[in-house]
Structure 1
Amino acid sequence: MPVVLYGSQTWSTRKQDLKRLLTFERKVIRKIFEPVRDQTTGEWRRRHNTELEELYKEPNILGVMRSKILQWAGHVRMEATGWPKITMDWIPSGSRPVGRPRKRWINGMREDLLQLGVMENWRQIAEDRDGWRALTVVARGRLGLIARIELNPI
């Protein structure tokens, strides 16, 4: 998982990216837990997603990724000046192409915070390091952000 999620704190993800990450994770877990022999027909079959969830009790790859994003946001808020803060608060000027604008990193992070029940005062909450760390643990857990992601299971 560390290799796949290297640098994921700064990713601006789309639903398609999240779906690919989940697919990759399930593919690896299926390799680890191997196929199972069906008792009625005697044929080998691959495990279903529900079986994989029962066997693999660790947090989902998306929960880990979103937890890392929140950890990074708590780290960046500490710097009063500097490039991370400047790029986080920067609003581009000028004209943009026609169509829906791309989702920025900060927008995805704010959506995650809203799902956790933290409103727009996240920078004040991030000042309390222990409270912010607890928030990232909730995001990593199965009942955090993972349960609310609506993707079509494969």
Structure 2
Amino acid sequence: MENKLTTFENGILRQIFGPVKEGDEWRRRKNRELRNCYQLPDIVAVIRGQRVMIRDGDLVKYVVERCFEEKRPRGRPRLRWLDGIKENIRNSGIPKDEWRDGAL
């Protein structure tokens, strides 16, 4: 999903900033050039940052903790939204003692 979002974002940025003319020929901007033109963080980083912000009483918390009474499909269980948050926190480099919820 992250790869699809990044690809979509780069396509939109290529349309906004347009091609580059080198001599007599036009070429598409490379991803690095797009990042230099667009100084804001990429969409995946923004989503990761927002996913970590769970507050008590939010609808998000209700959905995360709600137990669904459906029969589970065969195979490996799908990753839950909370699993993605836990992975983002582990990879963020924040010390474990500074985590808001020690159970993560």
Q: Which TM-score applies when normalising by structure 2?
A: 0.78
Q: Pick the aligned partner of 2:47 from 65, 77, 80.
A: 65
> Which structure 1 residue ranges, 4+ long, deviate > 2 Å from structure 2?
82-97, 117-124
Q: Show structure 2 runs of 5+ residues with no match.
A: none
- 1:98 is displaced (CA, Å) by 1.8
* Alpha-carbon distance between aligned partners in 2 of 1:84 and 1:59, rounded to the nearest angstrom: 24
Using CA pairs under 8 Å that are at least 6 residues apart, name the structure with larger relative contact order, 1 or 2: 1
Identical columns (%): 34
Q: What are the within-5 Å matches in structure 2 for residues 82-97 of structure 1?
A: 84-90=60-66, 96-97=72-73
Matches within 5 A, 1:3-152: 17-39=1-23, 42-71=24-53, 73=54, 75=55, 78-79=56-57, 84-90=60-66, 96-118=72-94, 119=96, 121-123=99-101
Cα root mean square deviation, aligned: 2.5
Q: TM-score, normalising length from structure 1?
A: 0.55
Cα-to-partner distance string for 1:104-147 (whole Å, 9 max, x where unaligned): 000001000111134495326xxxxxxxxxxxxxxxxxxxxxxx
Unaligned runs of 5+ in 1: 1-16, 125-154
